[in-house]
């Protein structure tokens, strides 16, 4: 079990693999979200967030009685981020005002219905107990597609929340330097521990975002 050794050797006396005592487990409550232009004063009130998930459509080839399936186009599913609905003493501390301001000034003007789409780059990091980022998702082309405040209920004592749905074009995942897994890989001579991209659809350099560690202008190139 994590935290102590029962016996020596990587597989123990019974030939069963046992994790090291120094193993670091990801915790659901250790994360932080940021945007290219941060939402001022409200990120401290974030309660929960989804994580980027790719999905591949299924293409079907029909022939007489048979159907043959192939992988089709890849897409990134939207994620939801939920905040406590705090009434701030200033505009920067009011969660709803900040979210609706982002939505109305950089997506669509809710009064005039004018499109003002300005996509942002957002990041989602998993951190350790001291706040050091160990794992990072970078989400490109983000914009809010929906804002959902909690329903009201006279019988409830639950804290109010407000959730926004974040659309994205693509995402990458990155194992950061200094993380336990990164150090283990480096010690074993397993190559660089930098960005391990989970978008495998664009290997032709069509995306302008560069890989900062290798200098490669194609962030989706294989390791």
Any domain includes 204: no
Any domain includes 220: no
CA distances from 169 to 61, 70, 119, 143, 173 (A): 27, 22, 9, 9, 14
DSSP-derived letter for residue 169 is S
Domains held by the chain: number: 1
Any domain includes 104: yes
Half-sphere exposure of 190 (CA within 13 A, CB side): 11
Dig out the tokens for 99 from the structure: 């979210």
Closest to 50 in 3D by CA, of 63, 31, 69 = 31
* Verdict on whether the full-model pTM lies above 0.85: no
Per-residue pLDDT of the chain (223 residues; tens, 9 = 90+): 455 555 555 555 555 666 666 677 788 888 888 887 667 677 888 899 999 999 999 999 999 999 999 999 999 999 999 998 888 666 666 888 888 888 887 888 877 888 888 888 999 999 888 888 888 999 999 999 999 999 999 999 999 999 999 999 999 988 887 665 555 555 555 544 444 444 433 333 334 444 444 444 444 444 3
Any domain includes 102: yes
Dig out the tokens for 140 from the structure: 């490109």
Any domain includes 134: yes
What does the pLDDT read at residue 69? Answer: 95
Residue 222: how many CB atoms within 10 A of its CB?
Answer: 8
Give me the domain span that covers residue 56. 31-196
CATH number of the domain that 40 lies in? 2.30.110
What does the pLDDT read at residue 209? Answer: 43
Residue 57: how many CB atoms within 10 A of its CB?
Answer: 10
What does the pLDDT read at residue 139? Answer: 94
Any domain includes 171: yes
Any domain includes 36: yes
User: Exposure of 88 by Cβ count < 10 A (0-12 exposed, 13-18 middle, 19+ buried)?
Assistant: middle
Any domain includes 139: yes
What does the pLDDT read at residue 41? Answer: 72
Can you tell me whether residue 80 is helix, strand or coil?
strand
């Amino acid at each position: 079990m994590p935290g102590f050794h029962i016996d020596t050797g990587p597989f123990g006396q019974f030939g069963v693999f046992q994790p090291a005592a120094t193993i670091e487990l990801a915790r659901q409550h250790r994360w932080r979200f940021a945007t290219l232009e941060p939402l001022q004063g409200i990120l401290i009130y974030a309660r929960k967030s989804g994580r980027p998930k790719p999905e591949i459509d299924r293409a079907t080839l029909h022939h007489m009685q048979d159907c043959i399936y192939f992988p089709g186009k890849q897409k990134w599913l939207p994620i939801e981020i939920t905040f406590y609905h705090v009434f701030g003493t200033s505009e920067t501390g009011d969660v709803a005002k900040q979210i609706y301001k982002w939505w109305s000034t950089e997506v669509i003007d809710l009064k005039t219905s004018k499109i003002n789409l300005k996509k942002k780059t957002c990041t989602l990091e998993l951190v350790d107990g001291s706040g050091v980022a160990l794992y990072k998702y970078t989400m490109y082309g983000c914009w809010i597609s929906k804002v959902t405040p909690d329903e009201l209920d006279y019988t409830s004592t639950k804290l109010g929340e407000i959730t926004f749905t974040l659309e994205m074009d693509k995402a990458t995942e990155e194992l950061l330097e200094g993380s336990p897994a990164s150090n283990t890989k480096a010690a074993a001579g397993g190559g660089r521990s930098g960005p391990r991209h989970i978008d495998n659809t664009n290997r032709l350099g069509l995306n302008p975002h560069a890989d900062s560690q290798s200098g490669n202008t194609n962030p989706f190139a294989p390791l």
